[in-house]
Amino acid sequence: MDRSIPTEEALEKLRQREMPMRYLVGTLKGRLSRLEKAFLQQPWEQAREEVAVKLLEREGEINILR
């Protein structure tokens, strides 16, 4: 996996792997609009001293908003 934003096809390949793995990927702002209402309902959590995040679990994946 490179450091670019993956295509849906690349993400599907990761999901279908026989050996489970964890991965963190970026997304386009346009895709975030699908999750916006759900993220608004989530509380901010302190991940580190100067880093707050919102976590949203959907369809077996955890989405992170920073």
Model confidence at 2: pLDDT above 60: no
Which candidate, 27, 34, 23, places its Cα nearest to that of 5? Answer: 27
Q: What is the mean pLDDT of residues 6-10?
A: 84
Q: Is the pLDDT higher at 55 or at 24?
A: 55
> What is the CB-side half-sphere exposure of residue 46 using CA atoms within 13 A?
3
| Alpha-carbon span 47 to 42, nearest angstrom | 14
| Confidence at residue 25, expressed as pLDDT on a 0 to 100 scale | 77
Alpha helices of the chain — where are they, by DSSP H? 8-15, 29-32, 36-40
| Confidence at residue 3, expressed as pLDDT on a 0 to 100 scale | 61
Model confidence at 53: pLDDT above 90: yes
